Amino acid sequence: MIKCIASDMDGTLLNSVQQISEENKQAILKAQAEGIEFVVATGRSYQEATYLLSQAGLSCPVICVNGAEVRGEEGEVLSSTPISKTLAREVAAKLTEHDVYHEIYTDKGAYSLDPEKAVSILVDIIVSANPKADPEEIRTAAAARTRDGLVHQIDDYELLFSDGNCKIYKVLAFCLDAKKRNEAGEDLRAFADLDITSSGHENLEITNKNAQKGLALEAFVKAKGLEMADTMAIGDNLNDVSMLERAGRSVAMGNASYEIKALCDVITDTNDEHGVAQAILEVL
């Protein structure tokens, strides 16, 4: 019997215009009313995740920045797995060396040197999950990152690396040049303390090796006195693999890649067809 449901956001809970559909919302509320724990597991910052949840009138715990931080329903920090400042500085230097744009995710939100590229990086994530969607609609939706203050502009990342009160959770890199991106990724994989995954065709998501959705979900479930065998995870991309592999019931979105569908127990509808709602209602 499913007692906990974990859902990714981009390409999963969110449709192609970055909204949680009414169908998905009602299914989540029904699950919560029946005593099932619902948790979002996303690569986004807590600030971005709760911005979208509040727009839909939903409240739940959040596994954010790929598991680097876990927060309860009231926003309290349940766990934190940052990258050391020294290592984060080295990562940024390596990406700069390869001319790869990157953002820094912290416990206070995401930071960018270039607001326009901050929009482009989200467009890449959305387009990767929704290849048939209207590019202009996607860019308009993605613009909320900077318009609504969800990404902060900063002049120098060293201001974050030298701030003793700031935790570095993730470095999100983006580059249309595959050669540069792959070379940067190869260099970064030499660091044993890092985990490197992806949420789009042109990006790299870099976190502490212990900051993974699956590890964070496992700890969250255990703290609730539940079992992973009674947990369902829903996702569509590579940064969902660690939780899909560990969950008792793994669900791939209809818009997921072949690799994700192949490792899951069930394939649901696409994110524009309310696939999360379908997956939830099937187990209620």
**pLDDT classification of 217: cutoffs 50, 70, 90:** very high
**Residue 40, helix vs strand vs coil:** strand
State the average pLDDT over residues 51-58: 96
Neighbours of 33 (CB within 10 A): 9
- pLDDT of 90 reads 97
The residue ranges of every structural domain in the chain are 4-80+212-283, 85-208
- Hey, which CATH number is domain 85-208, 3.40.50.920, 3.30.360.10, 1.20.1050.10, 3.30.1240.10? 3.30.1240.10
Q: Are 92 and 104 in contact (CB under 8 A)?
A: yes
The 8-class DSSP code of residue 81 comes to: -
Task: Give SS3 for 33.
Answer: helix
What is 4-80+212-283's CATH number? 3.40.50.1000
Residue 102 has pLDDT above 90, yes or no: yes
pLDDT of 141 strictly over 80: no
Integer Cα distance of 216 and 18 in angstroms: 24
Of residues 202 and 91, more confidence is placed in 91
Residue 102 pairs with which residues in a beta bridge? 173
For the residues of 59-72, what is the DSSP string, one character each?
---EEEGGGTEEE-
Q: Which band of pLDDT confidence, cut at 50, 70 and 90, is reported for residue 199?
A: confident
Active-site annotation, residues: 8
**How much is the pLDDT for 132?**
77
- 8-state DSSP, 273: G
Matching fold, domains 4-80+212-283 and 85-208: no
